[in-house]
Amino acid sequence: MEEVSTEVKATEAAEEAKAVEEVKEEAAASNPMDAVVAKIDSESKFKKGQIVKATISEATEDGLKILLPFSKSEILLSKDELDCDVYNAADYADKVGEQIDLLVVELKPSLKLSQKMIKLLQEEESMSAEIAAGKEFSVVCTGFNKGGLVGNMGTYQVFVPAKEIRLGYVKDLSKYEGKTLRLRALEIKKDSRRKEIIASQRVILQEEKDAREAAKAAKEEAFFASVKVGDTVEGKVERVTNFGAFVSVNGFDCLAHISDLSWTGIENVTDVLEIGKTYNFLVLKVDKENKKVSIGYKQLQPQPWDLAAEKYSVGEVVHGKVVRIVPFGAFVEVEKGIDGLVHVSQISNERIETPASVLNVGDEVDAKIMALDPAAKKMNLSIKALLPEAERKPRAPREEGEERPARRRAPRKDDGEMSSWSEGSAVSTSLADILANAEKNK
């Protein structure tokens, strides 16, 4: 009796175990993804990032039903994870039974597989190989920490140390957030848990700076090998200062000093030159050692006296301003760069002691040209010649036998002004002319 009871219990236990197993199978059938996850967890066959082969069992409107290794249950691969532009179930109808490669994207909380991610990863790995070989790449800075800037390139995290951001020190890292960085990889780290690229923008900026300096040095060498004093060069006015203009001649900055822009003198560079315009200049000085070239603009322009013969003639009346007064007369500026002398004897019909008793600096006067010598840069003027005849007082006749009173001449001062001009006439006579006449009369 006891033996029968034991057999019954054994039978009941076996049936109960079988019932439990059937319940598990039914549960697995009702939730195939959970069964797959349980299988993955129990056997540890799959890992995140692993590529597995799956068999297509059916094409539906929502995607493909597939069978994974170690599983007899179908799971659905969403159409969004397929490597195709537009999903059409009919296109996969004849592919049932074929195997496709899928990437394990996530294990928990549920298994996630993707076909399109394989292509993206392949492209990414190809790109990372080029980056490892030194290719420049771009990343948008998504944030920063006390060590530097961070960003992402696909599945790679990118880190730019603070000292590798630019050539100089960066005080505020936050201003780079959201900006695109141009980078070159310093190191690439990759393991099962993390992929990281440590990169530098500074090395690119340094390379570009070195290239610019090398190009500049080459240009300078070629420039100084070809330029010499006396050359006429064409240059573009790049910028002006209160002391002159910087002019680009074949890519090299030359200085045109303000004193070399006009024969008549100017207060502002822009009175003669315009920024952005091109002019011809004369090379005045070349200093290769200090990398300096001085050029002039006025040296290629005619001087005012060079045109005087065409603009003025003896007997012509001109208008000008008194610019200097000396004991023997007054200098009148006819135009910028051309002054004429009104001798004291040519100022008034009446005898005057000094020009200053009649004229002041700044007075505007009309005068007649009495003599003109452009080569010597001299012009004799007369105000008196324009005065009405009525203002000229005739000299009183002397009685018979009356002697001419001795004329007292004031001692001559060395005033340093136009010593070649005669004080007693409106005609200029130089010391050289006097000596030549004396030699002729011997």
Question: Number of folded domains in the chain?
Answer: 5
* Structure tokens given for 189: 């780290």
Q: Is there a domain that residue 291 lies in? A: yes
pTM score of the predicted model: 0.50
Does one domain contain both 279 and 366? no
Q: Is there a domain that residue 360 lies in? A: yes
Spatial contact of 328 and 344, defined as CB atoms under 8 Å apart? yes
End-of-domain residue from the set 154, 172, 206: 206
End-of-domain residue from the set 114, 149, 181: 114
Q: Is there a domain that residue 409 lies in? A: no
Q: Is there a domain that residue 211 lies in? A: no
SS3 string, the chain, reads CHHHHHHHHHHHHHHHHHHHHHHHHHHHHHCHHHHHHHHHHHHCCCCCCCEEEEEEEEEECCEEEEECCCCCCEEEEEHHHCCCCCCCHHHHHHHCCCEEEEEEEECCCCCEEECHHHHHHHHHHHHHHHHHCCCCEEEEEEEEECCEEEEEECCEEEEEEHHHCCCCCCCCHHHHCCCEEEEEEEEEEECCCCEEEEEECHHHHHHHHHHHHHHHHHHHHHHHHHCCCCCEEEEEEEEEECCEEEEEECCEEEEEEHHHCCCCCCCCHHHCCCCCCEEEEEEEEEECCCCEEEEECHHHCCCHHHCHHHHCCCCCEEEEEEEEEECCEEEEEEECCEEEEEEHHHCCCCCCCCHHHCCCCCCEEEEEEEEEEHHHCEEEEECHHHCCHHHCCCCCCCCCCCCCCCCCCCCCCCCCCCCCCCCCCCCCCCHHHHHHHHHHCC
Question: What is the CA angle 23-25-29, rounded to 5?
Answer: 115
Does one domain contain both 179 and 198? yes
Does one domain contain both 314 and 343? yes
Does one domain contain both 127 and 143? yes
Does one domain contain both 57 and 137? no
Q: Is there a domain that residue 402 lies in? A: no
- Domain holding 428: CATH number? 2.40.50.140
Does one domain contain both 20 and 35? no
Does one domain contain both 8 and 21? yes
Give dist(CA 111, CA 420) in Å, integer.
111
The whole-number pLDDT of residue 204 equals 97
Q: Is there a domain that residue 315 lies in? A: yes
The whole-number pLDDT of residue 9 equals 40
Q: Over the stretch 13-36, which tens digit does the pLDDT of each residue have? A: 445 445 445 544 554 445 555 554
The whole-number pLDDT of residue 401 equals 59
Q: Is there a domain that residue 367 lies in? A: yes
Does one domain contain both 157 and 60? no
Return the residue matching tokens 């009525």.
390
The whole-number pLDDT of residue 49 equals 75
Spatial contact of 291 and 216, defined as CB atoms under 8 Å apart? no
End-of-domain residue from the set 245, 277, 300: 300
The whole-number pLDDT of residue 209 equals 96
The whole-number pLDDT of residue 400 equals 62
Q: Is there a domain that residue 215 lies in? A: no
For the chain, list residues with pLDDT below 70. 1-44, 192, 389-442
The whole-number pLDDT of residue 430 equals 45
**Domain span holding position 144:** 119-206
The whole-number pLDDT of residue 393 equals 52
Does one domain contain both 102 and 124? no
The whole-number pLDDT of residue 109 equals 80
Q: Over the stretch 330-389, which tens digit does the pLDDT of each residue have? A: 999 998 889 999 999 999 988 888 999 999 999 999 999 999 999 999 999 999 999 986
Does one domain contain both 388 and 336? yes
Does one domain contain both 257 and 316? no
Does one domain contain both 15 and 36? no
